[in-house]
Structure 1
Amino acid sequence: MPEALWISFAFALGLLVKGVGLPPLVGYLAAGFLLSGLSDVTGMDIGPTEILGHIAHVGVLLLLFTVGLKLKLRSIISPEVIGGSLLHFAITCGVFTPGLYLLMELPWSTALLLAIALSFSSTVLAAKVLESKRELRAFHGRVAIGILIMQDLIALVVMSLAGGETPSQWALIVFGLPLLRPLLFRLLDASGHDELLVLLGLLLALVLGGYGFESIGLSSELGALVFGAMLASHPRAQELSKSLWSVKEVFLVGFFLQIGIGGLPDSQALTFAIVAMLVLPLKGLLFFFLLLAFRLRARSGFLSSLALTNYSEFGLIVASIALPEWLVPLAISVSLSFVLSAPLNRFAHNLYERFAPALSQFESQKHHPDEQPLSLGSARVLIMGMGRTGTAAYDWIAPKAEELIGLDSDPAKADEHRKAGRHVVFADAEDASFWHGLHMPEVHSVILALGDIEGKLIAARMLRKLGFRGYIVAHTMYEDEARQIREAGANDAYLTMNETGVALASHIIGRDSGQAG
């Protein structure tokens, strides 16, 4: 039974590589290659099978859907994303195409398609790595994901032209999808917190996003990403993402297994893959210098570039349509780039700290607006996270004549608060560069009203690391999380439901006192 072997090998190799500090996905790739070799030696029919292909596809769609849930499109549409992606694509194709034509004596059309396939970076791997480090919302994470979305759109155009297919006339319906957002918000509100919430996520990612876009001649991956992004501004988007976490992780294993099980390479394929790996650093360097040209700091440019220094599964899709004879060499190139990129990204911050003096010399003197050091001026109370809880705290403190400031990781939400008269600025507590440039000389108290436990833990630790000795308070739903927040440096962490009960009781006592008077 091939399914039993898939699970056994994936678990064993995933556990092994995790034990040596590598991401489990490297083990899943190795498991696929081992299964392919086992199939050749024993003659067993291990795969790849249609079932594994479906599992892999579902995993990719769910990953892209959850990525979309954390994206704010306003922050993606920017010069560094659009300009960086288009310039990188043009320069890569302009250099790789004649190189492949001359060195490998390929026809111009084949050389161009191979150059296009190698120009893309892996959406799956980059999103996986950034998500695991909780850096999707960090500035460099948003830049990397934005560039990947642009590359995916380019890949869709290439596949349509190479395959001789164009989207149907019904594809114009996509421009009307924003009109469905109120309905989707109501469905999310009505789905509760249990299995219906998971089913709603599957419906949107696989049925409406995946099958729906595919049926009108568009990419199912793009559809899953779009439907996720449409819900990104909903207050429960994070909860939906968490509810799909385990489901997504299990199915995504199939994607990495499928790459390896596809077959062992011959000598020609290995030679091509080795050459592709030798030029891979040039791909990262080009991204780095292009992003610096758009005024990014060296740190953000380095971290974004490192996340993009790999080859893409979209290259395999392009090859399957236009260059089927090159599918195996490209698959090996993609796999090896994953093996190299995953551990490098794991130590990305350490690598930058080591090479920072040399890399910072290439910075522009003018920096991107999102990367300017943040000074809180004369503010004495800082509220991190301006959702319902943070807003309520702000509005209660504001009349008390304390100078206060709110921070939120959603630029659109920060704009809404400013229009409402609140002093709120954009900042992401999970972005290490924010802490490096933070100046808060007058702050004596901090309220952690961030939506997730990791953000609160990071904020508490970083505040203490910066030498802040004032009062830090947070709220959470669970006692074990409250303990973790205190251990991270907060003075107090209150249970949300307990505090709600106290607040309700205070209204009764206040009412009774008023009646007695």
Structure 2
Amino acid sequence: MVEAVWIVFAFMTGLVVKMVGLPPLVGYLLAGFAIGAIGSRIGLPAESSDMLAHLAHLGVLLLLFTVGLKLKLRNLVRPEVIGGGLLHFLISCLLFMPGIWLLLDVDWYSSLMLAIALSFSSTVLAAKVLEGKRELRAFHGRVAIGILIVQDLIALLVMSIASGQSPSAWAFVIFGIPLLRPVLYRLLDASGHDELLVLLGLLLALVVGGQGFEFVGLSSELGALAFGALLANHKRAGELSQSLWSIKEIFLVGFFLQIGIGGLPDAQAWMFALAMIVLLPLKGMLFFFLLIIFKLRARSAFLSSLSLTNYSEFGLIVASVVLPQWLIPLALTVALSFVVSAPLNRLAHPLYEKMSRRLLPMERECFHPDEQPVSLGDAQILIVGMGRTGTAAYDFLKPRDIPMIGLDSDPVKVSKHVTDGRNVVFADAEDQLLWKNMEAPGLRYVILAANDVEAKVIAARKLRKYGFQGVIVSHSMHTDHAAAITEAGANHTYETMSEAGVGLAGHVFALEQEKS
């Protein structure tokens, strides 16, 4: 059974790399190359890769659909997104093309196509890493995803021109897609919370978005992303994304396996890939300086750039259309860039803390779109993270007329809270300069309600480091996370599920007391 081999290899290598502190996806890449190396010896049929390619494609579509669910299009129409994406593409092509032409002795057309393929960054890897750290909606996450979408649109245009194919006349129908929003909202409302909700997500991502766009001669990836973005403003978009989580993760394992399973690289492919990995830091540095030019703070520019410091699966798609003979070297290059990029992104915030002294002087002396607050005014209570938990805490405390303020790294969420009458400002709890420069003379209590445990650990540690003597309270989903937050400086860390159980029992006891 072919699927059994994939599952065994993926699980074993994923477990091994996780035990040494690397993300499991690195193990899935290694599993793909291992299967490619010994597949014929263990009797894998040749058509197994076609099945895997199909599963991988479904995983990519679901990932892009869930990314779309978390996007607000008005955040993409920003100078740093459009300008950064286009300028990086042009400069990368100008830098890569002459070197490839001279060193590899290929014609100018192949040099140009290779340069274009190498200029893109991985939407799959960046989205997965940012989603895993719950940073898709943070400012730097939005910038990174926005640039990736710009790159993906460029890739689709390049493939259309290079292949000589053009969209059908029906492609203009996609401009009427926004008219479907009321219908889709009604379907989402009517789908409930069980399997119908999952089926609706699969229908929109794979059938209507994916297959529908292919039918009119457009990219299925673009279709999945578009239909996700169409639902992004719905109140149940987050629930829909969560319902698709497990299915998407399983299919994405197939994507990472597929990269290595197509064939074994020869010595020339290894030399090409290693040379491109040596040049990989230049790609990240170019992103960093471009974002600095567009007035981002050093921290946001660094975190966005690190997410984009890799090579793209879209490069493989471009190669499959115009340069099939370069597919294996490019696949190896993409795989090695994932091996380098994934662990670096996992350590992104500690890396910035170590490098901040060198990076901060590079900031421009002007307004930054991600400017942090420097004063909390007369606030006595600070709530870090204004999701469901933070909002509930804010609304519970508001009638007591205690000066209070909330912080959140999602600009759209901040804007909504302000519209609803809450005192909330944009800030990223993982930014060390936030806590170092903040003026809060009346602050007595801090409630850590952010989703990411790393954000709560950093916030607690920095608050204590810079002299806060008040009470820090946090919630946590897991015992080990609670221990880490408490060790960082929190006075009390409550496990969410346990407290929910205690609360329910308390209500029962109160009802019994009323009866007696």
Q: Shorter chain as normaliser: what TM range?
A: 0.7 to 0.9
Give 1:490 shift.
6.1
User: 2:287 maps to what in 1?
Assistant: 287
User: 1:253 maps to what in 2?
Assistant: 253
Aligned AA for 1:140?
H
Aligned AA for 2:7?
I
Q: 1:201 to 1:461 in 2, by over 3 A?
A: farther
Query: 1:22, 1:343 within 8 Å by CA — same for their partners in 2?
Result: yes
Query: 1:310, 1:341 within 8 Å by CA — same for their partners in 2?
Result: yes
When normalised by structure 2's length, the TM-score is 0.86
Aligned AA for 1:184?
L
Query: 1:48, 1:261 within 8 Å by CA — same for their partners in 2?
Result: no
Give 1:460 shift.
6.2
Give 1:191 shift.
2.4
User: 1:357 maps to what in 2?
Assistant: 357
Q: Aligned pair 1:89/2:104, yes or no?
A: no
Q: Deviations over 1:282-337 (max 9, x none)?
A: 11111111111112222222222222111111011111111112111111111111
Structure-to-structure mapping, 1:8-407, within 5 angstroms: 8-40=8-40, 44-45=44-45, 48-386=48-386, 398=398, 400-407=400-407
Please give the root-mean-square deviation of Cα atoms over the aligned residues, in Å.
3.5
Q: 1:453 to 1:185 in 2, by over 3 A?
A: farther
Q: Distance in 2 between matches of 1:389 and 1:348?
A: 26
Structure 1 runs not aligned, ≥5 long: 511-517
Q: 1:18 to 1:218 in 2, by over 3 A?
A: same
User: 1:515 maps to what in 2?
Assistant: none
Q: 1:421 to 1:341 in 2, by over 3 A?
A: closer
User: 2:441 maps to what in 1?
Assistant: 441
Return 154-163 or 491-500, whichever deviates more. Answer: 491-500
2:370 partner SS: helix
Q: Distance in 2 between matches of 1:400 and 1:66?
A: 39
Q: 1:199 to 1:487 in 2, by over 3 A?
A: farther
Q: 1:161 to 1:445 in 2, by over 3 A?
A: same
Q: How many residues align?
A: 509
Query: 2:117, 2:316 within 8 Å by CA — same for their partners in 1?
Result: yes
Q: 1:273 to 1:237 in 2, by over 3 A?
A: same
Q: Deviations over 1:29-61 (max 9, x none)?
A: 111111111135566436553211111111111
Q: Distance in 2 between matches of 1:191 and 1:69?
A: 16
User: 1:513 maps to what in 2?
Assistant: none
1:369 partner SS: coil
Aligned AA for 1:186?
R
Query: 2:453, 2:481 within 8 Å by CA — same for their partners in 1?
Result: no
Structure 2 runs not aligned, ≥5 long: none
Return 381-390 or 353-362, whichever deviates more. Answer: 381-390
Give 1:117 shift.
0.5
Q: Distance in 2 between matches of 1:153 and 1:468?
A: 47
Give 1:272 shift.
1.9
Aligned AA for 2:32?
G
Q: Distance in 2 between matches of 1:436 and 1:137?
A: 24
Q: 1:211 to 1:314 in 2, by over 3 A?
A: same
Query: 2:382, 2:404 within 8 Å by CA — same for their partners in 1?
Result: yes
Q: 1:235 to 1:491 in 2, by over 3 A?
A: farther
Q: 1:41 to 1:480 in 2, by over 3 A?
A: closer
Q: 1:156 to 1:43 in 2, by over 3 A?
A: same
Return 393-402 or 216-225, whichever deviates more. Answer: 393-402
Query: 2:197, 2:243 within 8 Å by CA — same for their partners in 1?
Result: yes
Q: Distance in 2 between matches of 1:162 and 1:481?
A: 52
Give 1:368 shift.
1.4
Q: Distance in 2 between matches of 1:223 and 1:185?
A: 18
Give 1:278 shift.
2.1
Report percent identity of matched pairs.
63
Q: Deviations over 1:406-444 (max 9, x none)?
A: 334442343344345443323354666655554433233
